[in-house]
Structure 1
Amino acid sequence: MGATAGALIRASHPGPTAAVTALAVLLASVWDAAPPTIVLIGVAALTGQLTVGWSNDLIDRDRDRRSARSDKPLATGALAAADVRAAIATAGVVTTATSLSLGARPGIAHLVLVAAGWAYNLGLKRTLLSWLPYAVCFGGLPAVVSLAAGRGWAPVWTVAAGALLGTGAHLVNAVPDLADDRRTGVRGLPHRLGARRSIDVATVLLLAGTVVTLVAPVGGIDTIAVIALAACAGLLVAGRVAPGRGPFRAAVGIALVDVVALLVRG
């Protein structure tokens, strides 16, 4: 049982899952959601992301075997497909229930974001529109949280900033796997751009998303914006020279810095 649980965690894409959950909870705190609502938002975000992560590895298990991905429990045989299907079904029930408990509008909106993640796994990742689910999910997350917190629709700048950050995160996340993906028939936007151009374009998008997040709320630059911009610039530089998933971790770090800056401003 312990081995299966550990394998399920590894197959869930734990880094992105934890990051999206943290972003949702932080945004809920920024917008003064009630504590029970924050808990529901966190559980809904976590379980929704779990279904997306697990389905990704389940759908790609044959491709991962051909690429000899030792970091994928389904590909190595350390995890049974039946266990993953059961976990997806359980998480799917929980994310549906908790999402709708937030209210019809935020609940349906969140389930649309989860569906976008599944659409990526089921085929959009192979097309020129591979960026779209990331833009929808990151851009839509503020809308879900704002609706759940009783504030109505989120400001347009939050949606724009989220879409920019999400698209940038997609580009850098795909870079380490470009060669394996091409051999197994995946030709998304990062594969057409190539590694260098993907990182360059992602850098511009991440910077743009950061500037929108830090400048739009106050209509200019303040001390918090300067500190956050410096931190994000440092993460961008570190991400460009880091191996493997370093650029993606930097992108996630930038998104977290941006939301923390909003939280500090109150």
Structure 2
Amino acid sequence: MPALLAAAHGGPALAVTAVAGLLALRADLRPFDAVAVTAAVFTGQLTIGWGNDLLDLRRDRAVGRTDKPLAVGALPVSRVVPALLVAALACLVLSALTDWRSALVNATLATGAGHAYNLGLKATVWSWAPYACAFGTLPSVVTLADPAQGWAPLWMAGAGAALGVGAHLLNTLPDLADDERTGVRGLPHRLGERRSRVLASVLLPAASLLAVLGPAGTPRAWAWAAVAVVIVLAVLTLVAHGRTPFRAAVAIALVDVVLLVAAG
């Protein structure tokens, strides 16, 4: 089970699920709808992670990735494929249990964008687009789970898109050299490490500012204190190495969603 979760990129999957759960709390969904849409997001994230490791298996072995259970033989493909199919079916069923609009957006623009990235967009200059699409539409996947609600506000979609692109830039940094060796050249590879860090350090606080200034009313003092924390985390993305910048981006995303929930 730990290997199966690791192959699904369990950390990021759980973080995105937590974001969806907090957004469901903010949207004041019925308990059943909140649980269903959060579970739909989680199962969709599992399919993206497993699909990524299955498609990258040859590349991961070629560059000697020891952190991938499939690449090192700790997890057989015969276990991952059925798990992916079950998760995909669960994602569709759970989404449909709430509202058909949420199911459609999740399947095509949120989870679907993740698979589009895996299937080839990650190797192009448009590698950022699936992240912008998936994170930008995630708030609407949640709000559309309630038949009485519509699409999430544009400022919320903008904040999600900025977070998604910033996370993409930082998540790719540790693998730039390995990706180049296997022919993957997305936007971060073309920008280079330094410019990718700088762009991410701008996008992430921008998302936080949208989260503070977007909701109606005057932001409270604690909201600006949260922005100060985000700025510190953004500076960390400029100077830290390894997976730390990406973890800082995930922390910023959670701070932003807490800001949204607290703003109500």
Aligned to 1:121: 118
Question: Residues of 1 paired with 2:57 and 2:132: CA distance?
Answer: 25
Question: Residues of 1 paired with 2:160 and 2:194: CA distance?
Answer: 23
- The C-alpha deviation readout for 1:24-79, integer Å capped at 9, x for no partner, is 00000011111111110111011000000000000001100011000001110111
Q: Which range moves more in the overlay, 148-157 or 90-99?
A: 148-157
CA contact 2:33–2:145 (8 Å) conserved in 1: yes
Question: Residues of 2 paired with 1:220 and 1:182: CA distance?
Answer: 47
The count of residues paired between Structure 1 and Structure 2 equals 262
- The C-alpha deviation readout for 1:140-175, integer Å capped at 9, x for no partner, is 001111111332111111111111111111001101
Question: Residues of 1 paired with 2:237 and 2:52: CA distance?
Answer: 24
* 2:77 aligned to which of 58, 77, 81: 81
Q: Which range moves more in the overlay, 99-108 or 147-156?
A: 147-156
Q: Percent identity?
A: 52
Shift of 1:242: 2.4
CA contact 1:236–1:251 (8 Å) conserved in 2: yes
Question: Residues of 2 paired with 1:208 and 1:233: CA distance?
Answer: 10
* TM-score normalised by L of structure 2: 0.96
Aligned to 1:230: 228
Question: Residues of 2 paired with 1:241 and 1:218: CA distance?
Answer: 35
Aligned to 1:199: 197
1:57 equivalent in alignment to 2:43: no
Please tell me the root mean square deviation across aligned C-alpha atoms, in Å.
1.1
Shift of 1:220: 4.8
Aligned to 1:154: 152
1:6 equivalent in alignment to 2:10: no
* 1:217 aligned to which of 215, 222, 238: 215
Question: Residues of 1 paired with 2:208 and 2:56: CA distance?
Answer: 32
CA contact 1:165–1:255 (8 Å) conserved in 2: yes
Q: What letter is aligned with 1:197?
A: R
Q: What letter is aligned with 2:202?
A: V
List 4+ stretches of structure 1 deviating above 6 A: none
CA contact 1:175–1:190 (8 Å) conserved in 2: yes
Aligned to 2:257: 259
- Give the 3-state SS of the residue equivalent to 1:68 in structure 2: coil
* 2:180 aligned to which of 179, 182, 196: 182
Shift of 1:219: 5.4
* 2:18 aligned to which of 11, 17, 22: 22
Question: Residues of 2 paired with 1:187 and 1:68: CA distance?
Answer: 19
Shift of 1:102: 1.3
Q: What letter is aligned with 2:256?
A: D
* TM-score normalised by L of structure 1: 0.96
Question: Residues of 2 paired with 1:151 and 1:227: CA distance?
Answer: 31
Shift of 1:201: 0.5
Q: What letter is aligned with 1:49?
A: Q
CA contact 1:215–1:225 (8 Å) conserved in 2: no
